[in-house]
Amino acid sequence: MRPGKEINATSAAPGIATAPVLHHRFAGEFIPTLTIEEAGVEAECDRFEAACRRAADAMRVLKVKLESQIAADAAGAAGIYDAHIALVTDPNLLRDVRDLIGSDRINAEVALQRVVARYEKAFRSIDNAPVRERAADIRDVGRQVLAMLLQREQEVFHRKGSDYILAVDEFLPSDVGLIDIEHVRGIAMGEGGRYSHGVILAKGLGIPCVVGLASGLMKIPAGSVVILDGDRGRLVIDPNEQQLKRYGELLREREQADLRLFEVRLSPSITKDETPVELLANIEGLRELGAIEEGMFDGVGLFRTEFAFMERLMFPSEEEQLKLYTEVVQGMRGRRVTFRTLDVGGDKPLAYFRTPNEHNPVLGWRGIRLTLHWRDLFYTQMRALARASAHGPVSILLPMVTTLDEVREGREILDKVVTDLRDEGVEIGDDLRYGIMIEVPALAVVVQHVAEAVDFISIGSNDLVQYLLAVDRDNPRVAGMYDPYHPGVLRFLFDCVQVARQAGIPCSLCGEIAGESEFIPLLLGMGYRSLSMAPVFLPSVKLAVRSAEIAACEALWESVKSLGDGNAVREVLRGNAKQP
């Protein structure tokens, strides 16, 4: 590989690092199949369960170790090990392996590998990146239990006290216990994704990370000095003097920008002319919630409840859901939590819940369309959410709503749930709100008619842009046409917030657009005063809000609303961002 070669990758954890490469490849384990006599089946099952207990104990030790090393704003990342501990002690896993040992009379190692492969296949079939990458968690847990069964020590990744960039096929949560945290400067992965738990832990430890390098990663000569750019998704092999200088400047700029973000992160979210702008976090679990400093955000604008369903091997009960929702509400200490009801089906199936194959799942049987059909699922979740409202302000958000009938039907079910619970003497909070997510363009046009049945609306910009442009952003053939700067999209977003205002309904914007600092002045100029985004974008968006003046933002919107091309809009916004 020629010196100075730059390889494109996918940015996963931010930061820039320079160090020699250390390769590690997990070769896997070949385990011979042994026949277990009937009299020895119970002992073999006991050996497997003992290995699971030892693996769970090792995870607890690693979690305690990391809690003192992970950055304060990502402290919840260590909670990933709680999910692994839950999985390794899950009665379904234990039962499936025991059943296979008994039915096939095989040794625990082989039975475990077969069950893990089955689980992993089920997760990999899910057409949703964050959930699909949970297959790595199944594989990681299987690897840890296998090591306990074989009583083998795992290899440690280090360069004897020297700095290094770790190059691996994938980085799993258990690998954190094998790296030299003091000297690992970055992680480059051939496989895996930016949603994986290994990446989340790397980010919490402040380790820059890139993914998606495939087989090219292992072609880099061992010991080669590389620049890992976790901000832009790039790997530079044996950089020349010019490249070293350029990245040195980028690193200094990054340090200055990080300092500004750090200074404003806990400041009030108000513009220069003292207009308050509500900043909300989009999260999928308690781990993310625990990683955000209180002063950074005003509440949770989107809690994706489907992840509580997707990370399990069977439907969670009402009590199990209640426990999770209550912990979230209590953790917010009086700030509002907006829970989106179960949004599965179509492109996000559950591994244990069969739905029909669909030619176009993005437009198919998903969200509220599915849960209104399976009323028991919807009713159970509504009960758990209503009960959780006794501990703090709760909003219930319905996804993928298309018709006014669906809006009314959802409201009738919630009203019945509340009535039933009160008849049972169960406490319900006095600040329980009901709303819908605007993702289907047709519903936005008639939002004034929705006002009678809802307390608020949230604009789901990611899917809304897809549907407006007829572009599947996960389809590589047309993903380049996914353009939130398209003038038609901008006009629609403007119309949405204006109609909501006229109808007297609180309206927030949710999705990737809300997290783009360059986009913020335009959104403020349109009239948005509530934005919900991934937690990582909160500091940069707050800085953009505090740097803005509403009059200037409104003038900016006036200057772009008549443009006919997305690139022209970008040029105006970038010019605006460069102004002092």
Domains defined along the chain, listed by start: 1-240 (1.10.274.10), 262-270+460-528+538-580 (3.20.20.60), 278-438 (3.20.20.60)
In the prediction, which pLDDT does 180 show?
Answer: 83
* Sign of the torsion angle spanned by Cα atoms 57, 63, 64, 69: positive
The per-residue pLDDT for range 144-188, each reduced to its tens digit, is 899 899 876 666 666 677 899 999 888 888 888 788 888 899 999
Q: Is the separation of the CB atoms in 89 and 60 below 8 Å? A: no
The per-residue pLDDT for range 312-369, each reduced to its tens digit, is 666 788 998 999 999 999 999 999 999 999 886 544 555 556 665 656 656 666 678 7
When pLDDT is cut at 50, 70 and 90, the band that residue 125 belongs to is: low
| Average pLDDT of the residues in 375-392 | 93
In the prediction, which pLDDT does 527 show?
Answer: 96
**b or e along 367-390 (b: 16 or more beta carbons within 10 Å of the residue's beta carbon)?**
bbbbbbeeeebbbbbbbbbbbbbb
For residue 19, pLDDT over 70 is answered with: yes
Pick from 29-43, 187-201, 229-243, 494-508: least confident: 187-201
In the prediction, which pLDDT does 73 show?
Answer: 46
State yes or no: is 45 an active-site residue: no
Measured from the Cβ of residue 262, the count of other Cβ atoms closer than 10 Å reads: 11
Pick from 308-312, 427-431, 512-516, 537-541: least confident: 308-312
Q: Is the separation of the CB atoms in 170 and 109 below 8 Å? A: no
In the prediction, which pLDDT does 564 show?
Answer: 85
Q: Residue 179 pairs with which residues in a beta bridge? A: 157
Residue of 45, 52, 507, 510 with catalytic role:
510
| Average pLDDT of the residues in 197-225 | 83
When pLDDT is cut at 50, 70 and 90, the band that residue 72 belongs to is: very low
Q: Which segments of 68-107 does DSSP mark as H helices, in order?
A: 80-88, 91-104
In the prediction, which pLDDT does 23 show?
Answer: 87
Q: What is the pTM of this model?
A: 0.66
**Average of per-residue pLDDT values in the chain:** 84
When pLDDT is cut at 50, 70 and 90, the band that residue 445 belongs to is: confident
| Average pLDDT of the residues in 112-117 | 91
* CA dist., res. 232 & res. 17, Å (int): 12
φ, ψ (nearest 5 deg) of residue 348: -135, 65
In the prediction, which pLDDT does 381 show?
Answer: 93
* CA dist., res. 161 & res. 135, Å (int): 33
* CA dist., res. 566 & res. 12, Å (int): 27
Cα 74 to Cα 338, 418, 448, 514: the distances in Å are 21, 36, 41, 21
What percent of the chain has pLDDT above 90?
Answer: 39
When pLDDT is cut at 50, 70 and 90, the band that residue 1 belongs to is: low
* CA dist., res. 204 & res. 196, Å (int): 13
When pLDDT is cut at 50, 70 and 90, the band that residue 424 belongs to is: very high
| Average pLDDT of the residues in 80-100 | 86
For residue 577, pLDDT over 90 is answered with: no
| Average pLDDT of the residues in 540-549 | 92
Residue of 45, 52, 84, 197 with catalytic role:
197
**∠ CA 172-177-180, rounded to 5°:** 110
In the prediction, which pLDDT does 171 show?
Answer: 86
* CA dist., res. 196 & res. 226, Å (int): 23
For residue 27, pLDDT over 60 is answered with: no
In the prediction, which pLDDT does 486 show?
Answer: 92
For residue 453, pLDDT over 90 is answered with: no
When pLDDT is cut at 50, 70 and 90, the band that residue 391 belongs to is: very high
When pLDDT is cut at 50, 70 and 90, the band that residue 302 belongs to is: very high
| Average pLDDT of the residues in 293-314 | 80
State yes or no: is 197 an active-site residue: yes
For residue 106, pLDDT over 70 is answered with: yes
When pLDDT is cut at 50, 70 and 90, the band that residue 455 belongs to is: very high
Pick from 5-14, 61-70, 79-88, 253-262: least confident: 61-70
In the prediction, which pLDDT does 303 show?
Answer: 93
Measured from the Cβ of residue 151, the count of other Cβ atoms closer than 10 Å reads: 8
| Strand residue runs (E) in 134-204 | 164-168, 184-189
When pLDDT is cut at 50, 70 and 90, the band that residue 64 belongs to is: confident
Q: In terms of Cα–Cα distance, which of 308, 284, 325, 270 is closest to 534?
A: 284
